[in-house]
Structure 1
Amino acid sequence: MRLVHLDNVKQDMKLAKPISDSGRYLLREGQNNLQRFRKRLKKLGIKYIYVEDEISKDIEVDDVIRESTREEARQFTREFIDDISNDKTPDFNKAKKQVETIIDDIIDRQGVVINLYDIKTADDYTYAHSVNVAVISILLGKKVGLNYRDIKKLGLGALVHDVGKANIPNDILKKPGKLSEEEYKIIQEHARLGYDKLKDFKEIKATSLSVVLSHHENFQGNGYPRGVKGEELHIFPRIVAIADVFDALTSDRVYRERWSISEAADLIVSRSGQKFDPELVKYFMRYITLYPSGITVRLNDGREAVVVDQNEGYPRRPIVRLLDTGEEIDLTDELNLVIAEDKVS
């Protein structure tokens, strides 16, 4: 399978990963005649889909968690945020079980490359983003050596980190243009609002709450809402800060198209020691896949190819398959060739 822009969907392509919205399947795996659905999907804010065609039929794009786990977690996050916004008591036991399921999936699928191009509709963005942030945070927490109990607390905080956005007007959250200074100040309130909504529930620990309050703090101390800096900030929000920005950048939004994974990774590195904890950035970069299987790239000689697999230890030199001839090239063997662009589809 491979990832393609809706504008480039062809007659011979079939849907390789299902598309859902608000817990309902819109299109199921194997759906053909995809051009018929282009306009409808664009209205939902979807710009890219996974397809299977002749050139990509044997390329595997495995996710680090099961599709059923991802969908259940999205739906749960929606219910949790709805409960909070309606002043109801959320189901914390269900929340903890949801986090445990994500952790168990990650443990069961050790070695699976993270597929970070999750297909999100505009309405589903907050919930899908919350799940992705939880997955990336749990993976990073595991890599830095947190124990199982702490990983569960980290995962819970990450899953509900944006709960305060339930109290932010939709016309600001989904504004297609640049936010005004006043609107940006309103957006910034979501961290404090989320913390205030959750702080009196004994079922959520202080370390999980620190994620909700402090995931927009910066390592050098110029973040919000409190301006806490460095290791004065608990490690949980320092982890989630990386996951939050990374998933946001690599997601399509109403006001911009997604960044490529390599572009987002470069930004994370460029802000190391300023916005992000430099030690955590080192761990993150050690385990991120810059060119996931199924994305289309352009080589420095102008030819386009789809990524087939990665070469361990050589993150910028995967194995690719040329779109015009089907020839496979291992970029560790062809040192004169490099990936010049990875936002091609």
Structure 2
Amino acid sequence: MRLVSTKSIQPGTTLAQTIYNDNGQVLIQKGLGLTERVIRRLINLGITYVYIKDELTDDIHIESPISEKLRMEASNTIKETFSKMRQDGYMNNSHILNKQGKKLTDIVQQIMEEIQNNSDTVSLLADIFVTDDYIFQHSINVTIYSIAIGIELGLSKKELSEIGTGAMLHDVGKVFIDQDILQKPDKLDSDEFEIIKSHTQLGYDFLRKQLDLPLLVAHCAYQHHERLDGSGYPRGIEGDQLHKYAKLIGVADVFDAVTSNRVYRDAKLPHEGLEVLYAGAIKLFDKEIVEAFKKSVAVYPNGLTVKLSDGRNGIVSQQNNHLCDRPIIRVFKENGMEVEPYEIDLATILNVTITSCNLES
């Protein structure tokens, strides 16, 4: 399968990866020949890129870090929990997590186990979901990334469980914010942005009252928008004043935010998301955490067409674990001429690098 920009797809192209809504229902089934109408629908749904079938990449696959069944269970549990909170309102919902907390903890434990048992690097491009409420899938994605980083850093099971729960609930304060502001497709004015920023305080105040949750989980909600240089919110704390869990979740949160499909902007590719993190390394983000993230995530995902520094063109066919920016490339063009495909391993050919990516179909 090959990763391409939705806007570049030609009618008749075959979809290689099923697209779901956040209830797990199939919106567009893989194997479908895409018509002009369906392509327009994909674009209107805010889907930036998809996987398509072609002969050169038929044997290239991308696997989700967690099973489809667990993804659906997590999505439904988060949706049920957050929707109930939103329905009851901020002042009347202190009992909800007492009922749902065990479900959320169990899901975090399952995510931990599946990531630990999966030797592949993390890539969420296989999971293309269309949702009316971004917070549901975002919460799951940030949990997956946070646990993957924690594993790379060698954290204990107890710490991974706390981080996973904190990540799952880091944006819970947004449940209590006016949805018209939260889902606004246009630029927020200063007053609206201040309302959005209040989700950190709202989340902290709500979670710290939950007797069955560690207080650290509340601090994850409180501090995940704080930055090392004090430029974050809500308190503008800096350096060692930030808890390590919040530093870690903050990195996962930013990466998922910029690489997720949104109706009002195109998603960045993983290597572009990583560039955002590196631009803020040391000043905004903990460099050790960014480095651990880089080792955990498929920077150049399978199926992505790339150009190499020596002028060759190829497609990423396989990952090298812990060297996620040095994958195995299936070369199909040299000096602008098509050649019989062959593979090179960038982990062993150190004088060749990826210089650009191509999403044209």
TM value normalised by structure 1 = 0.90
- Does the CA-based 8 Å contact 1:15-1:34 persist in structure 2? no
SS in 1 for 2:128: coil
- Does the CA-based 8 Å contact 1:215-1:238 persist in structure 2? yes
In structure 2, what residue type is equivalent to 1:220? D
Aligned: 1:176 with 2:185: yes
- Does the CA-based 8 Å contact 1:311-1:319 persist in structure 2? no
In structure 2, what residue type is equivalent to 1:86? Q
Match of 2:112 in 1: 103
In structure 2, what residue type is equivalent to 1:322? F
Provide, for residues 55-100 of structure 1, a one-character-per-residue CA deviation record: whole Å limited to 9, x for no partner: 2110021121112212221222111211221234131111111111
Distance 1:338 1:234, change over 3 A: closer
Q: In 1, distance between residues paired with 2:352 and 2:207? A: 52
Distance 1:326 1:155, change over 3 A: farther
Match of 1:245 in 2: 254
Match of 1:279 in 2: 288
Match of 2:6 in 1: 6
Match of 2:46 in 1: 45
Distance 1:255 1:10, change over 3 A: closer
SS in 2 for 1:246: helix
Q: In 1, distance between residues paired with 2:308 and 2:151? A: 34
Match of 1:72 in 2: 73
Which of 121, 138, 141 is the aligned partner of 1:129? 138
| Number of residue equivalences | 344
Q: In 2, distance between residues paired with 1:331 and 1:300? A: 14
**Relative contact order, higher structure (CA 8 A, sep 6+):** 2
1:18 CA drift (Å):
1.8
1:33 CA drift (Å):
3.5
Mapping of residues 12-91 of structure 1, within 5 Å = 13-23=13-23, 24-33=25-34, 35-87=36-88, 88=93, 89-90=96-97, 91=100
1:4 CA drift (Å):
1.8
1:261 CA drift (Å):
1.6
Distance 1:343 1:86, change over 3 A: farther
1:102 CA drift (Å):
0.8
- Does the CA-based 8 Å contact 1:220-1:229 persist in structure 2? yes
Aligned: 1:116 with 2:124: yes
- Unmatched 5+ residue regions in structure 1? none
1:134 CA drift (Å):
0.1
Q: In 2, distance between residues paired with 1:259 and 1:11? A: 24
Identical aligned residues as a percent: 35
Distance 1:7 1:301, change over 3 A: farther
Provide, for residues 143-196 of structure 1, a one-character-per-residue CA deviation record: whole Å limited to 9, x for no partner: 212211221111011012111112223333333333222222111111111222
Q: In 2, distance between residues paired with 1:337 and 1:233? A: 39
Match of 1:207 in 2: 216
Q: In 2, distance between residues paired with 1:36 and 1:325? A: 35
Match of 1:322 in 2: 332
Distance 1:34 1:316, change over 3 A: farther
1:304 CA drift (Å):
4.8
1:11 CA drift (Å):
5.2
1:216 CA drift (Å):
0.4
In structure 2, what residue type is equivalent to 1:176? P
Provide, for residues 246-280 of structure 1, a one-character-per-residue CA deviation record: whole Å limited to 9, x for no partner: 11111232332122222221221221122111222
SS in 1 for 2:160: helix
Provide, for residues 80-133 of structure 1, a one-character-per-residue CA deviation record: whole Å limited to 9, x for no partner: 211221234131111111111111211221x21211324232524221111110
SS in 2 for 1:294: coil
- Does the CA-based 8 Å contact 1:122-1:253 persist in structure 2? no
Q: In 1, distance between residues paired with 2:281 and 2:155? A: 21
SS in 1 for 2:129: coil
Match of 1:341 in 2: 356
- Unmatched 5+ residue regions in structure 2? none
- Does the CA-based 8 Å contact 1:11-1:34 persist in structure 2? yes
TM value normalised by structure 2 = 0.86
- Does the CA-based 8 Å contact 1:84-1:197 persist in structure 2? no
In structure 1, what residue type is equivalent to 2:67? R
Distance 1:191 1:176, change over 3 A: same
Which of 206, 209, 216 is the aligned partner of 2:225? 216
- Does the CA-based 8 Å contact 1:297-1:341 persist in structure 2? yes
Aligned: 1:148 with 2:129: no
Q: In 2, distance between residues paired with 1:211 and 1:334? A: 41
Q: In 1, distance between residues paired with 2:22 and 2:272? A: 30
- Does the CA-based 8 Å contact 2:314-2:332 persist in structure 1? yes
Q: In 1, distance between residues paired with 2:134 and 2:56? A: 30
- Does the CA-based 8 Å contact 2:300-2:324 persist in structure 1? no
> Which has the larger displacement, 9-18 or 61-70?
9-18
